[in-house]
């Protein structure tokens, strides 16, 4: 058929608003299952020790090994997604999440469980990238920021439900395996979300005009040294801050039970407070900072909140809800400011590289500190009969909080000097 016979291009309408938001809910189901499976280990940490004879180093490794493949996967970037398309990639990575959860629950042999968490890690972070890419396709130029916020709230609901599973699934916690089998059921949401998204995108492609997410850049480690100092300080804050939060959550329920004599149900609730605060306050802090600026200052105060909370739990009899609320506020405030701040520090053409490097270094920290805290607990013989053994790990977390504060202070010093990029001054009402 020659050009004169070719059918004229027919402009297709944009997807209806309801359809776009239905797609967002469907694809967020995959993230919901993803987050549940990640947090399924923490509530059974003491059972793994009692019933399977795992050390705290073993337990820390189960979460650390999740981060290991993502040190490498982030270097690949979105190449796989670009190659096979978002709908195929979402389903592929969702299946890997489900398989990882199933392998983890299949046997009480440590290395098999670690292999399951490794497979889950390969799928989980890549699934997040795929979902992010899909949201960009459907909401670019529309309600993109709000859509990301809704997606994250649905995803974090998975964490909240997992950490509170000792309450709503109490009979299952008589045996280490049953809660993990429940996590396999939740992991099925990763597949269900992927299948439903495949169907919905396939139908929409024939009827509607959709945006493009744009190409994913390759991550080049050497670029870390070409970015401004302010970016380096944000990356250092990122790795220290998250390393003080997530490895703590790995052992939090076990720590509350053995060091403070709480029930498993209350320990799970305490740990879930971090997630609950983030679900509510992260968008509110983001809204506030967009209007008042002072981003580095907010990051300083958020990091400073972490310094005393671990020592309060280690050495005082304070109501545990107080330090956990402080941690929840910090976890709501710092990420709400930190990730968007990168867009002010790095030119748009390098944003993919900047976020990729930041995520890679974050995963290096999470891998290392999950193992380190497990080792520290074993070294100090932390247990119900020796609750003081947890103090070494609490000091490590507190030092990480101080380092986060120090890097945020260096960032503020840089951003109030002659090489400032506007972190402290730019607001939604100010000229850019």
Q: How confident is the model at residue 3 (pLDDT cuts 50, 70, 90)?
A: very low
**Average pLDDT over all residues of the chain:** 86
Tell me, what's the pLDDT at 429? 60
d(CA 272, CA 319): 16
Q: How confident is the model at residue 219 (pLDDT cuts 50, 70, 90)?
A: low
Tell me, what's the pLDDT at 11? 65
Tell me, what's the pLDDT at 215? 52
Q: Mean pLDDT across the stretch 202-229?
A: 66
Closest CA to 371 of 253, 238, 251: 251
State CA 6 to chain mean position distance: 48
Tell me, what's the pLDDT at 150? 82
Tell me, what's the pLDDT at 73? 74
User: pLDDT higher for 365 or 205?
Assistant: 365
Tell me, what's the pLDDT at 80? 75
User: pLDDT higher for 124 or 70?
Assistant: 124
Q: How confident is the model at residue 419 (pLDDT cuts 50, 70, 90)?
A: confident
Residue 278 to residues 265, 283, 325, 331, 379, Cα–Cα distance (Å):
20, 8, 10, 6, 33
Tell me, what's the pLDDT at 288? 84
Q: How confident is the model at residue 1 (pLDDT cuts 50, 70, 90)?
A: very low
Contact assessment for residue 421 and residue 345, using Cβ atoms and an 8 Å cutoff? yes
Q: How confident is the model at residue 356 (pLDDT cuts 50, 70, 90)?
A: confident
Tell me, what's the pLDDT at 352? 64
d(CA 341, CA 285): 13
Tell me, what's the pLDDT at 202? 82
The helices-and-strands tally (H runs, E runs) of the chain is: 15, 0
Local structure of 425: helix, strand or coil: coil
Tell me, what's the pLDDT at 348? 66
Is residue 194 scored above 90 in pLDDT?
A: yes
CATH topology agreement for domains 13-216 and 217-432:
yes
Residues above pLDDT 90, as percent of the chain: 57
For the chain, domain boundaries: 13-216, 217-432
Tell me, what's the pLDDT at 77? 58
Lowest mean pLDDT among 18-22, 202-206, 288-292, 401-405: 202-206
d(CA 399, CA 288): 28
pLDDT in tens, 39-77: 999 999 999 999 999 999 999 999 999 988 888 776 675
Is residue 87 scored above 90 in pLDDT?
A: no
d(CA 23, CA 46): 39
Q: Mean pLDDT across the stretch 345-374?
A: 84
Say which residue the tokens 């950490």 belong to.
Answer: 163
Q: How confident is the model at residue 142 (pLDDT cuts 50, 70, 90)?
A: low
d(CA 100, CA 219): 26
d(CA 413, CA 396): 26
Contact assessment for residue 136 and residue 142, using Cβ atoms and an 8 Å cutoff? no
Local structure of 85: helix, strand or coil: coil
pLDDT in tens, 8-25: 545 666 777 888 889 989
CATH level 3 topology of 217-432: Growth Hormone; Chain: A; (1.20.1250)
Produce one character per residue of 325-345: b if its CB has 16 or more CB atoms within 10 Å, e if not.
bbbbbbbbbbbbbbeebbebb
Query: For the chain, percent helix, then strand, then coil, each to nearest 5?
Result: 80, 0, 20
Q: Is 309 exposed, middle or buried (0-12, 13-18, 19+ CB in 10 A)?
A: buried
Say which residue the tokens 């392998």 belong to.
Answer: 103
Query: Residue 21 CB: number of other CB atoms within 10 A?
Result: 16
| Rg for the chain, CA atoms, rounded | 22
Q: How confident is the model at residue 209 (pLDDT cuts 50, 70, 90)?
A: low
Closest CA to 115 of 136, 100, 98: 100
d(CA 234, CA 341): 8
User: pLDDT higher for 351 or 337?
Assistant: 337
Q: How confident is the model at residue 432 (pLDDT cuts 50, 70, 90)?
A: very low
**How would DSSP label each residue in 186-246?**
HHHHHHHHHHHHHHHHHHHHHH-------PPPPP-GGGGGTS-HHHHHHHHHHHHHHHHHH
d(CA 173, CA 376): 26
Please give the model's pTM, rounded to 2 decimal places. 0.85
User: pLDDT higher for 221 or 245?
Assistant: 245
Say which residue the tokens 């701040």 belong to.
Answer: 341
Is residue 104 scored above 50 in pLDDT?
A: yes
pLDDT in tens, 259-296: 999 999 999 999 999 999 988 888 888 788 878 888 88
Superfamily for domain range 13-216: MFS general substrate transporter like domains (1.20.1250.20)
**How would DSSP label each residue in 1-68?**
--GGGSPPP-PPPPPPHHHHHHHHHHHHHHHHHHHHHHTTSGGGHHHHHHHH---HHHHHHHHHHHHH
d(CA 46, CA 271): 15
State CA 285 to chain mean position distance: 18
Say which residue the tokens 């053995």 belong to.
Answer: 258
Closest CA to 186 of 303, 285, 100: 100
């Amino acid at each position: 058929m020659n050009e004169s016979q070719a059918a004229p291009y027919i402009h297709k309408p944009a997807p209806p608003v309801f359809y776009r938001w239905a797609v967002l809910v469907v694809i967020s189901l995959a993230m919901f299952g993803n987050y549940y499976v990640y947090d399924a280990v923490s509530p059974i940490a003491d059972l793994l020790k009692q019933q399977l004879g795992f050390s705290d180093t073993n337990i820390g490794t189960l979460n650390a090994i999740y981060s290991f493949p993502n040190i490498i996967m982030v270097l690949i970037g979105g190449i796989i997604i670009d190659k096979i398309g978002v709908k195929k990639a979402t389903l592929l990575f969702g299946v890997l999440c489900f398989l990882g959860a199933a392998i983890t629950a299949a046997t009480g042999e440590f290395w098999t469980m670690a292999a399951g968490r490794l497979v889950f890690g390969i799928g989980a972070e890549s699934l997040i990238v795929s979902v992010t890419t899909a949201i960009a396709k459907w909401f670019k130029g529309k309600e993109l920021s709000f859509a990301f916020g809704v997606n994250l709230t649905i995803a974090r609901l998975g964490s909240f439900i997992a950490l509170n599973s000792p309450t709503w699934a109490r009979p299952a916690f008589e045996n280490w395996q049953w809660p993990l089998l429940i996590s396999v059921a939740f992991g099925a949401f990763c597949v269900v979300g992927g299948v439903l998204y495949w169907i919905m995108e396939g139908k929409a492609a024939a009827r509607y005009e959709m945006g493009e997410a744009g190409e994913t850049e390759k991550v080049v480690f050497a670029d870390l040294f070409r970015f401004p100092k302010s970016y380096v300080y944000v990356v250092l804050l990122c790795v220290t801050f998250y390393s003080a939060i997530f490895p703590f959550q790995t052992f939090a329920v076990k720590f509350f039970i053995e060091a403070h004599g709480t029930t498993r149900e209350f320990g799970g609730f305490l740990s879930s407070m971090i997630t609950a605060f983030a679900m509510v306050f992260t968008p509110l802090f983001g809204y506030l900072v967009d209007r008042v600026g002072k981003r580095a200052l907010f990051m300083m105060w958020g990091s400073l909140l972490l310094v005393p909370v671990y020592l309060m739990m280690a050495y005082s009899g304070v109501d545990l809800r107080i330090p956990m609320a402080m941690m929840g506020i910090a976890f709501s405030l710092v990420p709400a400011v930190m990730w968007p701040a990168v867009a002010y520090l790095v030119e748009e053409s390098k944003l993919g590289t900047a976020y990729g490097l930041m995520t890679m270094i974050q995963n290096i920290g999470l891998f290392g500190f999950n193992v380190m805290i497990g080792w520290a607990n074993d070294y100090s013989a932390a247990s119900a009969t020796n609750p003081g053994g947890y103090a070494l790990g609490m000091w490590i977390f507190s030092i990480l909080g101080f380092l986060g504060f120090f890097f945020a202070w260096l960032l503020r010093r840089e951003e109030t000097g002659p090489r400032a990029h506007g972190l402290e001054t730019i607001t939604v009402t100010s000229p850019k």
